[in-house]
Amino acid sequence: MAENFVENHFAVQAALIISASIGMQYAGEAVSVYAQTQNLPYAGTVGFVIGAALAFVPFALIYRRYEARYDE
């Protein structure tokens, strides 16, 4: 059975964590700025939650498909 490259290499995991957190930060800031222009209460918190979801959900879907190749 093939080795899962992502789960067995610390450097790859660290790079994915850093890139995911940067993606969440930028997506959260973009949503937060939009929410502030609409005068929504708690715009920063709303931006953080929605930005994290916008960055994490696609990553999770892609990784689940990637991981399925190694479950056989």
37-67: b (≥16 Cβ within 10 Å) or e? eeeeeebeebbbebbbebbeeeeeeeeeeee
Claim: this prediction has a pTM higher than 0.85: no
Domain ranges of the chain: 21-68
Q: pLDDT tens digit string along 6-58?
A: 777 888 888 888 888 888 888 888 888 888 888 888 888 888 888 888 878 88
Task: State the pLDDT confidence band at 72, using cuts at 50, 70 and 90.
Answer: low
Instruction: Write down the pLDDT at residue 1.
Output: 54
